[in-house]
Structure 1
Amino acid sequence: MNWLKGPSSLLSRQLLFLGLPLVVLWGFSAFSSYISAMNAATQAFDRMLLASTRTVAERLVVRNGRLQADVPWVVLDSFERNMDDRLYYKVVDTEGRVISGYDSLPDIPGGTPRSELYPALAWFWHTRWRGQGMRVACLLQPVNEGGINGMARIYVAETLQSRREMAANLLASSLWTQGGLVILTLILSGWLLRRVLRPLRRLSAHLARRQPGDLSALPALLPWSETRPLMSAFNRYLERLRHLIARQARFSADASHQLKTPLTVLKTQVAVALASQDPQVWRQSLEAMSGTLDGTVQLTERLLQLASLKRREPGSQAFTRIDLVALAQACCFSRLTQARSRHIDLGYEGETSPVWIDGEELLLAEMCANLLDNALKYTPTGGTVTVRVVCQTPQALLEVEDSGPGIDEHQTQQALTPFRRLEQGSMQPGAGLGLALVNDIARWHRTRPELLHGETLGGLLVRVRLVSREKRGP
């Protein structure tokens, strides 16, 4: 089937897939027309043959007790259609003797069916005689006079030249008519395709002239209603791509700005250490550099995670079953040392049996870790941080509440935006990425974080609603 894949242009494919069936149909129609023309010619000339046999039958007479046929040649000549065909006849009396005409003219073959087209007892068949194709008609004529009773047989044979010429003329007329129709159809279809493709060529020229960074919507150069969904979808894609590139550019600019500060601090600390000869200053500088590097590493990791999430569509990977209770408790254990260092009461409340959800475990663990880091950072020394898992089928709630300053309601959107820090936390180190990363991970799981006022501890309550399964083990 490689020949079906050969033509690369639409015009070639159209001519192939449209022209080939039309040509086959043309040939089939021509064959059918030829058969129909031959049948029509046969019927027309058979009527003439039957008329000839009847004319000869009318010339039968009984003389002296014998049947005779008085058939002048002028009678037969009156039935000639042209000079190309010849008529031959034979008359057989009631006793089977040839009384007139050509004795060697073939008799009716056995098994030849009688014609149902005429009321007369007539038979028609094809044969060859004297090296020529013949159409023969046989008519039974009853005789009942002069003591002779029986059936006389009259044979009239005609050559086939006129029939074939008539059929050929009908076939030629059909071929010319249908062939012209096929050619006209192909020409019109090719012209229509070129006309249809003209707007596509204009669109191609428009795209070729565009600047590389031009992501504006495409103009309505395609006038057909069938292409409007395609153009609308492509323009929506360009809009999403434009927003993505703008967001990435803004993210890159903000990230470079955020990384510049710790690198500048690190360079200053190195310069201080190199300018001093005091080992104590060296140690202090190295400790300060270690803290700066730790913060820079944490900032870089969160930047990479945030950039990775922004490149992916929500739910683009298959989720697995996760026990949210075990995940939250493990996250609490991992932050116990950090909480104790500031005398913060870190604890877990809520469900104790497994609560199963669908999600990506690494991302959910990172989300929970960021929520705890944010709560521990802004909770004052001696405060309280509580992690909860509440099952409300078909939802599971992950909550982290602290006794810190909280967030005003009008600042919740700003808190979820990367590199946007609030006044309440301006004295704390950081780049404003913790809640932004939580927001992106939640969106990736087709949900969103809720920043609320904690009724129990009086600080910030962050709640994330996740889809849960039945409350039992797998």
Structure 2
Amino acid sequence: MKWFKAPRSLFYQLLLFFGLPLLVLGGISIYTHYFSAMHAATLAYDRTLLASARTVAERLVVRNQRLEVDVPYVMLDSFERNMNDRLYYQVISPEGKSISGYDDLPKLPPYIPRSNLYPALVHFYNAQYQGVPIRVAALFQPVNDSGVEGMATILVAETLESRRYLARQMLLSALLSQGTVVVLTLILAYILLKKVLKPLRRLSSLMLRRDPGELTPLPIVLPWSEMQPLLLAFNRYIERLRLMVARQGRFSADASHQLRTPLTVLKTQVAVALASDRPEQWRESLDGMSTTLDNTIALTDRLLSLSRLKADEHRTDQKLQPVNLAQVLKDACFSRLSQARSKQIDLGYEGVGTCWVSGEALLLAELCANLLDNALKYTPNRGIVTARLLVAGEGVLLEIEDSGPGISQEQTAAALQPFHRLDNVGEQPGAGLGLALVKDITAYHGTRPELLSSPELGGLLVRIRFNLLS
């Protein structure tokens, strides 16, 4: 059992096609905005930390050959209470002893490089103090006074609340701006896709409501130039379908009419035989029925051949094979010698002995048979029928010439139509299918018949050109 596979929605595919990249790009943009904000906040607050460390470094003094720092009360208060953050400091002498501030501040790790952003010997690093993350600026201050020489270290640390608050504000701003752009773009894409696909839904609804027998062109419901070729292709297909249905309808009507006549005759002959008690009447009726059945079988065969060719005329997978057209034409002539002798017709063949073309052997044999049958049927007793095969350049000309009544130029187009019989055929039996079948067979092989007046015999000259195989 095959599971039903629901068709994919073009609307949601397009929305996903536009929406997914927007969401990804929006997320990347917000991510980069957040880290840009953190970097900007770090630079700004690091500058403040460095300024505080320099302020402390300026208060270094040497008394009694000892390094001391004189930090005023106001500065100490600012260190203790700095809006959202806590500030800590520590001053370390060149000998490595803490002389002021918080003795347990995290020391400078050995792998932290010196900052190149400021003209000072300063290092910035992150650490933990009393369970709280802090940012520390370590400033090295040279000391050379009253016997004290070396590098004093000033550590100024700050908690990260203000930095994170600034980063959160910038992140929120990025979320609002980028999110608004993404949401508005998705809403506009949704509205646009709804509007764009509305004519397609209208076309679908129109097709669903159409009567099965309606073959009129579709109205111009698709306003975009890119979709006009699709609508034009639909209308051309509908026009071809309409012509095919009309042709099949005419063919069916004509075929039923042509078959009804011999069947009526056959029924009449049967009724005459049943109503008579004379054996010679039965014999005459049986002979008539045999002739009627032969004609009906020939008519049915040609109707089936014509119907098959009509069904195959648009096929693109035709498999043509090399065919010796000369041999096919010769065989057709030999098979009709008895028919020619019965009317004392001079049936002959002229031309090349071998000629290879690309085609279907059975159809080419039917083509030659129909042309010869027509020529022999309409040529009077003691007439002439000539089958000819001549090479002309890269092609070959198949010609059937007779001394019959011929066809005027005004009637050549009508003569190739099914069930059309000319006025000059007299009492000859037939349904007018021979030349129509010839036209369809030649169309199957990519060529067409020419109906000309015979310059030598005065009758009809049928000429068909085929391409030679190299």
Q: In structure 2, what is the equivalent of residue 442 of structure 1?
A: 442
| Matched-pair contact (CA < 8 Å) for 1:451–1:462 | yes
TM-score by length of 1: 0.93
Q: In structure 1, what is the equivalent of residue 238 of structure 2?
A: 238
Q: Which moved more, 1:391-400 or 1:299-308?
A: 391-400
In structure 1, distance between residues paired with 2:332 and 2:59 = 124
| Matched-pair contact (CA < 8 Å) for 1:402–1:459 | yes
In structure 2, distance between residues paired with 1:106 and 1:408 = 117
| Matched-pair contact (CA < 8 Å) for 1:61–1:70 | yes
Q: Deviations over 1:298-330 (max 9, x none)?
A: 111111111221222345312122121122112
> SS in structure 1 opposite 2:33?
helix
In structure 1, distance between residues paired with 2:457 and 2:76 = 128
| Matched-pair contact (CA < 8 Å) for 1:114–1:121 | yes
Q: In structure 1, what is the equivalent of residue 409 of structure 2?
A: 409
Q: Which moved more, 1:140-149 or 1:424-433?
A: 140-149
Query: AA paired with 1:348?
Result: Y
Q: In structure 2, what is the equivalent of residue 376 of structure 1?
A: 376
Q: In structure 2, what is the equivalent of residue 177 of structure 1?
A: 177
Q: In structure 2, what is the equivalent of residue 466 of structure 1?
A: 466
In structure 1, distance between residues paired with 2:22 and 2:135 = 36
Q: In structure 1, what is the equivalent of residue 300 of structure 2?
A: 300
Q: In structure 2, do the counterparts of structure 1 residues 269 and 77 end up closer, same or farther at CA, with 3 Å as the change threshold? A: farther
Q: In structure 2, what is the equivalent of residue 285 of structure 1?
A: 285
Runs of 4+ in 1 over 6 A off after TM superposition: none
Q: In structure 2, do the counterparts of structure 1 residues 7 and 62 end up closer, same or farther at CA, with 3 Å as the change threshold? A: farther
Matched, 1:329 2:323: no
Shift of 1:81: 8.8
State the identity %: 61
> SS in structure 1 opposite 2:90?
strand
Alignment of 1:8-27 (within 5 A): 8-27=8-27
Q: In structure 2, what is the equivalent of residue 318 of structure 1?
A: 319
Q: In structure 2, what is the equivalent of residue 112 of structure 1?
A: 112
| Matched-pair contact (CA < 8 Å) for 1:48–1:79 | no
Q: In structure 1, what is the equivalent of residue 218 of structure 2?
A: 218
Shift of 1:286: 0.6
Q: In structure 2, do the counterparts of structure 1 residues 221 and 76 end up closer, same or farther at CA, with 3 Å as the change threshold? A: farther
Q: In structure 2, do the counterparts of structure 1 residues 7 and 437 end up closer, same or farther at CA, with 3 Å as the change threshold? A: closer
Q: Which moved more, 1:433-442 or 1:89-98?
A: 89-98
Q: In structure 2, do the counterparts of structure 1 residues 77 and 310 end up closer, same or farther at CA, with 3 Å as the change threshold? A: farther
Shift of 1:22: 3.0
Q: Deviations over 1:14-41 (max 9, x none)?
A: 3433333333333333322222222121
Shift of 1:277: 0.8
In structure 2, distance between residues paired with 1:142 and 1:456 = 129
Structure 1: any 5+ residue segments left out of the alignment?
Answer: none
Query: AA paired with 2:55?
Result: T
Matched, 1:157 2:167: no
Shift of 1:181: 2.1
Query: AA paired with 2:380?
Result: P
> SS in structure 2 opposite 1:153?
strand
Alignment of 1:128-277 (within 5 A): 128-277=128-277
Q: In structure 2, what is the equivalent of residue 309 of structure 1?
A: 309
In structure 1, distance between residues paired with 2:305 and 2:353 = 30
In structure 2, distance between residues paired with 1:250 and 1:282 = 38
| Matched-pair contact (CA < 8 Å) for 1:393–1:469 | no
| Matched-pair contact (CA < 8 Å) for 1:386–1:400 | yes
In structure 2, distance between residues paired with 1:307 and 1:413 = 20
Shift of 1:60: 1.2
> SS in structure 2 opposite 1:308?
helix
Q: In structure 2, what is the equivalent of residue 340 of structure 1?
A: 341
Q: Which moved more, 1:433-442 or 1:149-158?
A: 149-158
Q: In structure 2, what is the equivalent of residue 358 of structure 1?
A: 358
Matched, 1:52 2:90: no
| Matched-pair contact (CA < 8 Å) for 2:270–2:285 | yes
In structure 1, distance between residues paired with 2:361 and 2:175 = 75
| Matched-pair contact (CA < 8 Å) for 1:315–1:444 | no
Query: AA paired with 1:417?
Result: Q
Query: AA paired with 2:398?
Result: L
In structure 2, distance between residues paired with 1:458 and 1:146 = 143
Q: Which moved more, 1:6-15 or 1:376-385?
A: 6-15
Query: AA paired with 2:346?
Result: D
Q: Deviations over 1:344-385 (max 9, x none)?
A: 2222211113x2211222212111111111111111122221
TM-score by length of 2: 0.94
In structure 2, distance between residues paired with 1:219 and 1:160 = 69
In structure 2, distance between residues paired with 1:76 and 1:47 = 19
Q: Which moved more, 1:22-31 or 1:224-233?
A: 22-31
Query: AA paired with 2:75?
Result: V
Q: In structure 2, what is the equivalent of residue 432 of structure 1?
A: 432
In structure 1, distance between residues paired with 2:255 and 2:387 = 30
Q: In structure 2, do the counterparts of structure 1 residues 230 and 215 end up closer, same or farther at CA, with 3 Å as the change threshold? A: same
Q: Deviations over 1:72-99 (max 9, x none)?
A: 3522554789533111111122222222
Matched residue pairs, number?
Answer: 465
Q: Deviations over 1:37-75 (max 9, x none)?
A: 221211111111111111111111122222211123522
Query: AA paired with 1:350?
Result: G
Shift of 1:198: 2.1
RMSD: 2.0
Query: AA paired with 1:104?
Result: D
> SS in structure 2 opposite 1:137?
strand
